Structure 1
Amino acid sequence: MLLNVSYNDKKIIQKINDAVGKPYPLKDRFAMGGIGSPKLHVTEASVDIYNLFVLDNNTNTCNVEMRPNGIIVRFRSRLETYGLVIPYYKLNMYKGDIGIYSIYMDHYFVKVRADTKAIQRYFKKLMDHRTENLPTNLEDL
């Protein structure tokens, strides 16, 4: 689900926490070696996200935050911050031939350039975390 996360709205925070879990405590973040990605340059996006990107003239960048049950892809448009909340069971990721990672959920997608080793290590860590925390039964959803 694509949400405007600019403001501290309890209803939106509750929706995010229900979908992907609460944020990791500081101790766990250090133990995991960080939960956030470096700055990712967006090369292509779905229509809904692209329409937000064209509202300003800034470079199209995003970052990814890991949560216990999913990820949040955050990006800015004008003065607003948007988050694409993706539970692990809906997350599809592909690595392209020329260093492009594609993140899909339903009809939303974001393609980012993986031009540094740090970005490639982060996506490897993300996929490992996903396999450890992916629900195995339908009752777990």
Structure 2
Amino acid sequence: MLLNVSYNDPKIKEQIEQEVGKPYTLKERLKLKGVGSPKLLITSTSIEIHNLLILDKYINTCNIELRPNGIIVRFRSLLETFALVIPYYKLSLYKGRSDEYSIFKDQYFIKIKAEPTNNQLNKFIKKITQKKADISSFNGDIYS
């Protein structure tokens, strides 16, 4: 679900929490050694996101936040902040070319630049895949 999260709207906050859970507490954030990605450079997107990003002339960047049941990919366009809310069961994460990660949910996708030397990003992506695997195995979604 693609949402405008620029304003403090309780309905939108509730929608996000239903999809991916409440934000981690400070204690949980410290235990996980952080729940936010570094600033990521967007290389390409699906048409809906692209139409938002072309409204201004700034460099297209995003960041990813871990939640208990999914991730939130946030990006800015003009003076608005948008969030692509992705529960783990709908998340598809691929390493495309050697310098690019692709994040998919239904008809939406965002491709981000991933330099092989960017260890911080690579560790964060591993954390996402591990959380997704933990949630999937906990819910009994693993097929043998």
The match for 1:122 is: 124
- Aligned residue in 1 for 2:68: 68
Distance 2:140 2:8 in 1: 33
- How many residues are matched? 138
AA in 2 matched with 1:123: I
The CA distance in 1 between the partners of 2:57 and 2:49, in whole Å, is 15
Output aligned runs, 1:1-141, within 5 Å: 1-115=1-115, 116-134=118-136, 136-137=139-140
| Cα distance in 1 for residues equivalent to 2:10 and 2:140 | 30
- Specify the SS of the correspondent of 1:126: helix
Instruction: Quote the Cα distance in structure 2 between the aligned partners of 1:111 and 1:97.
Output: 10
Question: Taking every aligned residue pair, what percent have the same amino acid on both sides?
Answer: 53
Q: Secondary structure at the match of 1:89?
A: helix
Secondary structure of the structure 2 residue equivalent to 1:59: coil
TM-score (norm 1): 0.95
Q: Output one character per residue of 1:69-126: Cα deviation in whole Å (capped at 9) or x when no partner.
A: 0000000000000000000000001001322100000000000011111111110111
Give the CA RMSD over aligned residues: 1.1
Task: Give the Cα–Cα distance (whole angstroms) in 2 for the partners of residues 47 and 101 of structure 1.
Answer: 18
Cα distance in 2 for partners of 1:121, 1:31 equals 15
TM-superposition CA deviations, 1:5-36 (whole Å, max 9, x none): 00000000000000000000011001100000
Q: CA deviation at 1:137?
A: 5.0
SS across alignment from 1:11: helix
SS of structure 2 residue aligned to 1:8? coil
Question: For the residues of structure 2 that align with 1:103 and 1:48, how far apart are their CA atoms?
Answer: 15
CA distance in 2, matches of 1:106, 1:125: 22
Q: Which amino acid aligns with 1:56?
A: D
Unpaired runs of at least 5, structure 2 = none
Amino acid at match of 1:136: N
What secondary structure, in the 3-state scheme, does the structure 2 residue paired with 1:81 have? strand
